[in-house]
């Protein structure tokens, strides 16, 4: 019976490529303990060390780890091929897009709607996934454009920044929190006194911000940790606690008064980018879409 899972392969490949457990956890929307546990199980199954843990400040890949990485990447690529038929399109009016769940849920519908008013004949194909999934789809040429939150150092990618999404604190819209905001507490007071719903999808960004405030994650009263933006937002709306959230994800919740907002001083910023292969020739629709996004930047068009 096969003991190795595809998820373990995904975790290991991402750790090798990002050289970070925390970045892998953020990219794949899993907790860091879950990542570490799966890697430990994988090493136990293989009866070998894939990662050298003697240097706690830097991840080193063992010789066995590098051999396993090459084979694992090949296997995962083949699995993606089996999962979907390759994208073979001569349709110059179709754009295949892959997107992380934040731009997929809270940006792309507005973008596509706005774009179709100018190019009504355009058709879209949209796939949602983690940043790791989107880069995999780009590598396999199953999508033309990828909307991601994490950039890649690989030279083959062209990056077009399209939106700076700031982090804010969301609070339940209850009389207690309404009164609390009227007192205008400092961010330190707010975080020190309130129960926190920890949003793991923003883990490294929040930890860096806390460090600037002279705080650590361990200083907070964390009630629950959640591995998705939507879960954390729902927990806040339901009154479980306060949470660091992506501002763009709260667009509808703010309009409908489901949630209260505390604007952070010098907030963390996460840039959403469109990525595409420099060497791949985009079809007419893809080229028009990229040019449209560039024009929106120059003219500061805001359709969100």
The mean predicted confidence, pLDDT, of the chain is 86
pLDDT of amino acid 1? 59
With a cut of 80, say whether residue 120 has pLDDT above it: yes
Integer Cα distance of 233 and 98 in angstroms: 23
At residue 64, what are phi and psi to the nearest 5 degrees?
-65, -35
With a cut of 80, say whether residue 17 has pLDDT above it: yes
pTM equals 0.67
Confidence of residue 300 (pLDDT cuts 50, 70, 90): very low
Q: With residue 261 as reference, give the H or E element that holds it.
A: strand 259-262
Q: Mean pLDDT, to the nearest integer, of 158-172?
A: 92
- Kindly list the structural domains of the chain, giving each domain's residue range(s) and its CATH number in brackets, ordered by start: 6-83 (1.10.10.10), 94-163+272-299 (3.40.190.10), 164-269 (3.40.190.10)
With a cut of 50, say whether residue 156 has pLDDT above it: yes
With a cut of 90, say whether residue 223 has pLDDT above it: yes
With a cut of 50, say whether residue 62 has pLDDT above it: yes
Q: Of 24-28, 49-53, 126-130, 261-265, which one has max mean pLDDT?
A: 261-265
Q: Mean pLDDT, to the nearest integer, of 208-212?
A: 94
With a cut of 70, say whether residue 54 has pLDDT above it: yes
Q: Are 266 and 227 in contact (CB under 8 A)?
A: no
pLDDT of amino acid 301? 42
With a cut of 80, say whether residue 302 has pLDDT above it: no
Q: Which residue has the higher pLDDT, 281 or 247?
A: 247
Instruction: For residue 264, give Cα distances in angstroms to 93, 105, 106, 247.
Output: 42, 23, 21, 11
Query: Which range is least confidently modeled, 14-23, 74-83, 148-157, 228-237?
Result: 74-83
Q: Which of 250, 255, 266, 248 is CA-nearest to residue 303?
A: 248
């Amino acid at each position: 019976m096969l003991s190795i899972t595809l998820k373990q392969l995904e975790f290991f490949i991402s750790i090798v490529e990002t050289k970070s457990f925390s970045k892998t956890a953020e990219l794949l929307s899993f907790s860091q303990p879950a990542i570490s546990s799966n890697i430990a199980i994988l090493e136990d199954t293989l009866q070998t060390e894939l990662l050298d843990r003697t240097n706690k400040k830097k991840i080193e890949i063992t010789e066995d780890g590098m051999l396993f990485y090459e084979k694992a990447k090949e296997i995962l690529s083949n699995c993606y091929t089996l999962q979907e038929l390759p994208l073979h399109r001569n349709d110059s009016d179709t754009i295949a897009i892959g997107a992380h769940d934040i731009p997929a849920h809270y940006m792309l519908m507005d973008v596509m709607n706005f774009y179709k008013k100018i190019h009504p004949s355009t058709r879209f194909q949209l796939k949602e996934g983690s940043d790791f999934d989107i880069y995999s789809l780009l590598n396999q040429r199953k999508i033309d454009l990828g909307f991601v939150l994490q950039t890649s150092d690989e030279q083959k990618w062209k990056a077009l920044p399209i939106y700076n999404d700031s982090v804010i604190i969301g609070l339940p819209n209850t009389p207690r929190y309404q009164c609390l905001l009227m007192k205008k507490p400092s961010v330190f007071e707010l975080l020190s006194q309130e129960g926190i719903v920890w949003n793991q999808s923003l883990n490294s960004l929040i930890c860096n911000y806390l460090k600037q405030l002279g705080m650590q994650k361990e200083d907070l009263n964390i009630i629950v940790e959640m591995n998705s933006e939507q879960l954390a937002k729902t927990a806040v709306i339901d009154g479980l606690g306060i949470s660091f959230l992506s501002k763009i994800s709260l667009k509808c919740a703010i309009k409908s008064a489901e949630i209260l907002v505390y604007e952070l001083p010098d907030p963390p910023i996460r840039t959403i980018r469109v990525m595409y292969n420099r060497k791949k020739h985009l079809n007419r629709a893809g080229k028009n879409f990229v040019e449209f996004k560039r024009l929106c930047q120059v003219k500061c068009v805001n359709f969100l």
